[in-house]
A and B are shown apart, each in its own frame.
Chain A
């Protein structure tokens, strides 16, 4: 027979007392206001209680300075009375010991800034001596160009060059940048402190884990969806619906590619659409490039309309705190307008090619095409589709219930693992850890640039160029982003520009509407259309096309891509002026 354990009344009282005692200790340890009250009652009295001094440190662009050493020295002494470190918001708090002070000096030091000394006014010193709290006005520190500045800057330039010239894999190049920055910080910094950039702990603080988890979650979700055959089926339906009308086929394919890129990922979309597009083009007797290039242009434009459509939007959304709906409301209408213009442009550009469609292929080949365009895993598609729809709902309502996109992506990924593709080993293989490492290394490299002040200099330069004029700021940002994205990888470019746009958003009147963030998104993504190397979808499409014996040359792409970029960026810019 089981005996029920019953506490006696005495034991219950003791238990209650212990619980209450623990609760009191816990409360005292977490609740600051109780301590001063106790201190006043038990210590020698208010007059002998130490005063405190608080303030905030800012850089020349008004950005808070974190990690500065703030020390208080009294009466000309060399030994600091107390030290404090400035927090992420630039604030510091010095709790001074009790005592009579004739003078107080505050010394502030931080790598990459000139050391600063602040002589407190007599009234402030008296206030502190009396045990009161004093607050100093915000203090701006002056930047100092150290050897560390040049190490961080040159390392980043080296990374960009290595990526652009394809001398190293992107991730290897970015990791090399991190190794140089940290290597100089630790090894060089031991020899000459001016080589120090930041420590490892500080470097990791620059990594945006919202981005990492959002990208990782979406990788798993997309990996499940992409093996169902949905992309190929959609492309085949476009062929069927167009009934041999090439202009209609191209229009439908561009719309499908654009929507798929907005909801999933533009690289995946093009990788899976391109092979069947080539087969469709050959079936109709037209040059596959006249369909593939319009598709990839639409893919780059379509991705802009949602938070998850492009890596640049993921970076922007996380940094600026913009949600799924923000992109949907503020960018999608502009993207639709740009897409309409793009479709009209390509139909005009390729009109002769489309009109000269040759003899189609045999019935046997058409049957083969039908086979290529079927859904291969319908059950998996049903389940994955349902999860994805729920994810979209969560992305949309996420802003209201404070559900960040990274969590939605992770929930979706876990649902896929539990219900659709349960082999965890296989699913973890589909996560592209190389890409995630690229993002982590990139965040650290850009963090080093922020640490040494290069980003502040760029921000100040652009700030003075636009002179507080929002119209000029939009034009400069959108067009410089579009221009540079055509020649350098737009992901490192966007990552570098985030703090710059953050500064402009705070300082340019009217920019608090976030218009500049959307400008960066439009410029960086649409600019990728101008050259063959401007974006990843362009490169993978060229890779697929070459494997079918149709090479996309740099010049051939430029002839279509450059005017298409100008048209879409003009429309994107006009949309920003209309919307904001």
Chain B
């Protein structure tokens, strides 16, 4: 069974991406691997006492919750899905997940307004770089 990797979060934009990937998976008879990346880089914004390990654990719990929501969504649409959590920068985590889980395709959500983490040109560059690194076909959905 083919497997599609999709990095996701929990906002409205993520729901649109999840729906598009689930539709693609259904069409191809594939399963979906939902990836949540724990990245505590933003803690550098504060010069205060913070424990990155404790924050990372909390983000991981939140990621599990968001991925469980995504998997419920997949189940409701009749698509098999599994959650996966990695720590570190997004690009490295995507490559690592794609290789470790031997996925057949990687899907990115098309930027939809200010809530998106990337602009479209940035996303296209990232998509091309990952495709080049892993040799796995990438899609912007």
Chain A residues in the interface with B (C-beta under 8 A): 166, 169-171, 215, 218-219, 222-223, 226-227, 232, 265, 267-268, 271-272, 275-276, 278-279, 282, 311, 361-362, 364-365, 368-369, 372, 430-432, 434-435, 438, 491, 536, 539-540, 542-544, 546-551, 553
- Within 8 Å by CB of B51, from A170, A227, A311, lies A227
Q: Which residues of A contact B62 (CB under 8 A)?
A: 275-276, 278-279, 372, 544, 547-548
Nearest-neighbor residue (CB-CB) of B117 within chain A: A546
CB closest chain-B residue, reference A218: B49
A547 touches B39 (CB 8 A): yes
Contacts of B14 in A (CB 8 A): 549
User: Are A282 and B47 CB-contacts (below 8 A) given A275-B58, A547-B59?
Assistant: no
- Cβ contacts under 8 Å, A361 to chain B: 69, 72
Interchain CB contact under 8 A, B49 and A276: no
Residues of B within 8 Å of A542, CB to CB, are: 42
Among A171, A222, A546, point to the contact of B49 (Cβ < 8 A): A222
Of B45, B49, B114, which one neighbours A268 at CB under 8 angstroms? Answer: B49
A303 to B12, alpha carbons, bound, how many Å?
33
* B80 interface residue (CB < 8 Å to A): no
**Distance, CA A547 to CA B44, complexed state (A):** 15
Contact B66 A548 (CB under 8 A): yes
13 A-B pairs within 8 Å (CB atoms) are namely A219-B49, A223-B54, A275-B59, A364-B72, A365-B72, A368-B64, A430-B51, A540-B50, A548-B66, A549-B12, A549-B14, A549-B115, A553-B114
Q: Assuming A275-B58, A431-B49, A438-B47, what are 20 further A-B pairs, CB within 8 angstroms? A: A219-B49, A222-B49, A275-B61, A276-B58, A276-B62, A278-B62, A361-B72, A364-B68, A365-B68, A430-B51, A432-B50, A434-B47, A536-B45, A536-B46, A539-B46, A540-B46, A548-B11, A548-B62, A549-B10, A549-B13
Determine whether the beta carbon of B45 is less than 8 Å from that of A549.
Answer: no
Judge whether B110 is part of the interface by a CB distance below 8 angstroms.
no
Bound form: Cα–Cα A215–B50 in Å:
12
Which bucket holds chain B's interface residue count? 20 to 34
Chain B residues positioned under 8 Å from A227 (CB to CB): 51, 54
Measured in the bound complex, the distance between the Cα atoms of B72 and A268 in whole Å is 32
CB pair A551–B50 under 8 Å, yes or no, is no
Q: Which residues of B contact A267 (CB under 8 A)?
A: 46, 48-50
Closest chain B residue to A373 by CB distance? Answer: B61
- Quote the shortest CB–CB distance from B44 to chain A (angstroms): 6
Taken together as a complex, chains A and B put the C-alpha atoms of A118 and B66 apart, in Å, by 77
Cα A551 to Cα B59 with chains together (Å): 16
Pairwise interchain contact B65-A271, C-beta atoms closer than 8 A: no
Contacts of A282 in B (CB 8 A): 10, 65-66, 69
A275-B59, A372-B65, A551-B11 known; A265 vs B48 contact (CB < 8 Å): yes
With a CB–CB cut-off of 8 A, which chain A residues contact B64? 368
Residue contact B72 to A546, C-beta cutoff 8 Å: no
Identify A432's interface contact among B42, B48, B72, CB under 8 A: B48
**Do A549 and B49 have beta carbons less than 8 Å apart?**
no
Interface string of B111-125 (1 = CB under 8 A from A): 000110100000000
Residues of B within 8 A of A276 (CB): 58, 61-62
How far, in whole Å, are A361 and B73 apart by their CA atoms in the complex?
11
The closest CB in chain B to the CB of A231 belongs to B58
Q: B141 interface residue, CB < 8 Å from A?
A: no
Report Cα–Cα, A544/B42, bound state, in Å: 8
Residues 66-108 of chain B, each 1 if its beta carbon lies under 8 Å from chain A, else 0:
1011001000000000000000000000000000000000000
Task: Say how far A262's CB is from chain B's closest CB, in angstroms.
Answer: 16
From the candidates B39, B49, B72, name the one contacting A215 in the complex (CB within 8 A): B49
- Provide the residues of chain A in CB contact with B65, threshold 8 Å: 279, 282, 365, 368-369, 372
A169→B48 CA distance, assembly (Å): 12
CB distance from B113 to the nearest CB of A (A): 9
A422–chain B nearest beta-carbon distance, Å: 17
Return chain A residues, CB-CB under 8 Å to B39: 547
In the assembled complex, the Cα of A438 lies from the Cα of B49 at a distance in Å of 12
Q: How far is the CB of A10 from chain B (nearest CB, A)?
A: 64
Chain B CB count within 10 A is highest, among A267, A546, A548, for A548
B128 on the A face (CB < 8 A): no
Known: A549-B13, A551-B114. A435 touches B72 (CB 8 A): no
Instruction: Kindly report which residue of chain B lies nearest to residue A271, judged by CB atoms.
Output: B55
Q: How far is the CB of B53 from chain A (nearest CB, A)?
A: 8
Q: Is B3 interfacial (CB-CB < 8 Å)?
A: no
- A372: B residues at CB distance < 8 A: 61-62, 65
